[in-house]
Amino acid sequence: MLKKIPYSMNLSNKFWKIITLFFLLLFVFSSTSGCKDLQSGIDAFKSKEYDKAIKILKDYLKDNPDDVNAHFFLGSAYFKKSELGLAQEEFEKVLEEKSKHTKALYQLGLVFYEKKEFKDAKKLFEKGLNLKNDKAWFYNGMGLVQMAEGDLENADVSFRSAIFENPDVAEFHKNLGDVSFKKDVLPIAIDEYRQAVELDSTLAEAHYKLGEAYFLSRDFNSAVESFKSAVRLNPQYKDAYLRLGNLYMIDRKHYPQAKVMYEEYLKLDDTKPDVYLSLGKALYYIGDLENTILNLEKAKKLAPEREQIYHFLGMAYQDSKNFDKALKSYDDYVMLKEKENSNPWEQKDAEFWMRKGRAHLALGNSLNLEKGSLALNKAVELDSTTTEAFCSLGYTLYRQEKYRDAIHFFNKCIEFTKGDVFNPLIYLAYSYIAQGDHLKSVSPLLKAIELQPENVEVKKTLAIVYYREKDYEKAVKLYPSILKKYPDDCEPIGQYSYSLVMLQKYKEAIPYLKKSIKCYPNDIGYMLLLAQAYELNKSLDDAYGWYMKVLKIDSNNQEAKRGRDRIDMQRF
């Protein structure tokens, strides 16, 4: 007969069963929860949420300090954030537990590589090469160190060895491309970069490096596409924006695209004066002068010694008609250019001096006319075929009333200009006329009329020259077209009527003499001419009437008296 178990003992056994079950469940739950925390940290790392990964893994390691995987991924997260000291500690902890943990050994080598402690990095990579697994990565690590030390030949061998061990890793091909690029073997570099992006199309750096290689090979279209791929994959890739901007600047049709690329770069880094300068240039060529000036002023603030900034700033101010600021920028440019070299000017600088001269001319006062003349002379000294400088210098000297010198430069301007020389011809003629050399003005005026046959103003000037030189035959050929456009212009009416009288074309002269009298009602000279024209045209009554009108104004006019008397004698 079994003894009856006391109630208290029965309760105690149940209690311990419950306690045992509780702890068993707690252990299982804790183990499962810990595994979930580790996986969450690894997932965060793989998602590039490195701060999140670090927090989760550190919390996990508080309860699981010996977990090798947790230390490895924590070290990897620190490495991605460039916290190299903390990364080194974690990888060393992994290797303390597992000395042949190849991934930790490789990553620790990369830590020393990034810290530029190449000797220690090499030791770790060499150690890895003596292990059975992951040799390709250790060849790759050796190549990185050798490339950093400038040992390009051995780096080339190491990367090729890595590819031989595992040809399907994009990074190995990219690195071999880098070595070939540094060795200036561009075809191989391009081929390796291509293989890298074929293996991993998300590798932004490989696209960028491929663009660089294309650029140096002068395959600009392919370079543009590669750089565009780089920024699509990594919108923060500022160097790719810069390269795109510079490439777009090569072709004048793409200044708007260059502007966009430089602006994208400046969103990421607003400290580079060269980028503000390049953006200013793109805006200048687009014609946005306001924003050109804004960006060039920023460049000047960041790099006040950069001479090219002042050159473009001067052009932008000049095109905006702000000539004082333009000249201030030009003067600063000259000062910086001559700071290290008293004579830094070359033939290509003739255009600068020409622009500077024209800015002075725009201000117009005597001091600026003189300075403008000096600047334009400088342009001619640098380039004896600088057509625009010759023309501008001619205009300057003309305004200074230095007609003899102006004639010299207008002739040079006409000699070297391949296009339209109408204006230089006109000013050359004016210069001759201003000097009193009327006959010398005829040739340039005739050439100007050949260029613009319908230009009445030029014909009017030439007609005046002929009139003053008493070449009435040539003068009268020009006046009809002048008077057709300006029928009430008194000066050509008077000159035409007088010329016709001198050519004894009295009948033709009479209507124009009448118009001349209307223009100059108090000028008895035209009345006398009209009276004489009527007399010589045998219209004696009309002649007599006009002689009497002259005598009514001037009773002592001897020409009128003689004319009246001649007609009286003919009547009797």
CATH of residue 219: 1.25.40.10
State which amino acid sits at residue 25: L
At 127, list the tokens. 């150690």
For 103, residues 6+ apart whose C-beta sits below 8 A from its C-beta are 72, 134
Q: pTM score, two decimals?
A: 0.70
pLDDT at res. 366: 87
Better-scored residue on pLDDT, 9 or 268 = 268
- How do residues 63-76 score in pLDDT, each as one tens digit? 999 999 999 999 99
Query: Both 459 and 510 in a single domain?
Result: yes
**Contact 76/57 with Cβ under 8 angstroms?**
no
pLDDT at res. 34: 54
Query: Both 510 and 528 in a single domain?
Result: no
**Contact 457/464 with Cβ under 8 angstroms?**
no
**Beta-sheet strands, E only, within 68-210:** none
pLDDT at res. 396: 86
Better-scored residue on pLDDT, 5 or 502 = 502
**464 found inside a domain:** yes
Q: Which of 16-25, 358-367, 485-494 is predicted with the least confidence, judged by mean pLDDT?
A: 16-25
Q: Which of 113-117, 340-344, 525-529 is predicted with the least confidence, judged by mean pLDDT?
A: 340-344
Among residues 485, 500, 518, the one where a domain terminates is 518
pLDDT at res. 32: 43
**328 found inside a domain:** no
Among residues 212, 234, 256, the one where a domain terminates is 234
pLDDT tier for residue 24 given thresholds of 50, 70 and 90: very low
Structural element, H or E, at residue 320: none
Average pLDDT over residues 201-223: 96
pLDDT at res. 9: 35
Q: Which of 367, 370, 368 is nearest to 326 (CA)?
A: 368
Share of the chain above pLDDT 70, in %: 94
- How do residues 142-201 score in pLDDT, each as one tens digit? 999 999 999 999 999 999 999 999 999 999 999 999 999 999 999 999 999 999 999 999
**558 found inside a domain:** yes
Query: Both 507 and 533 in a single domain?
Result: no
**Contact 386/376 with Cβ under 8 angstroms?**
no
pLDDT at res. 25: 39
Query: Both 173 and 213 in a single domain?
Result: yes
At 284, list the tokens. 């200048």
Q: Which of 521, 527, 541 is nearest to 498 (CA)?
A: 527
**200 found inside a domain:** yes
pLDDT at res. 409: 87
Among residues 502, 518, 534, the one where a domain terminates is 518
Q: Which of 354, 362, 350, 282 is nearest to 322 (CA)?
A: 362
**71 found inside a domain:** no
pLDDT tier for residue 97 given thresholds of 50, 70 and 90: very high
**For the chain, how many structural domains are there in total?**
3
Query: Both 507 and 557 in a single domain?
Result: no
Query: Both 173 and 210 in a single domain?
Result: yes
- How do residues 536-568 score in pLDDT, each as one tens digit? 999 999 999 999 999 999 999 999 999 999 999
Query: Both 509 and 554 in a single domain?
Result: no
pLDDT tier for residue 393 given thresholds of 50, 70 and 90: confident
Q: Is the pLDDT of residue 570 over 50?
A: yes
Range of the domain at 192: 168-234
For 106, residues 6+ apart whose C-beta sits below 8 A from its C-beta are 124, 125, 128, 134, 137, 138, 141
Query: Both 462 and 482 in a single domain?
Result: yes
pLDDT at res. 4: 37
**185 found inside a domain:** yes
Query: Both 501 and 546 in a single domain?
Result: no
pLDDT at res. 252: 83
**Beta-sheet strands, E only, within 124-224:** none
Q: CA angle 50-55-58, nearest 5°?
A: 115
**179 found inside a domain:** yes
When the pLDDT of each residue in the chain is averaged and rounded to a whole number, the result is 91
DSSP state for residue 253 in the 8-state scheme: G
pLDDT at res. 2: 33
pLDDT tier for residue 35 given thresholds of 50, 70 and 90: low
Q: Which of 527, 518, 515, 512 is nearest to 559 (CA)?
A: 527
C-alpha–C-alpha distance, residues 74 and 59, integer Å: 11
**430 found inside a domain:** no
At 510, list the tokens. 């009479």
pLDDT at res. 190: 97
Query: Both 197 and 220 in a single domain?
Result: yes
pLDDT tier for residue 19 given thresholds of 50, 70 and 90: very low
Q: What is the 3-state secondary structure (H, E, C) of 322-359?
A: CHHHHHHHHHHHHHHHHHHCCCCCCHHHHHHHHHHHHH
Query: Both 529 and 500 in a single domain?
Result: no
Query: Both 510 and 527 in a single domain?
Result: no
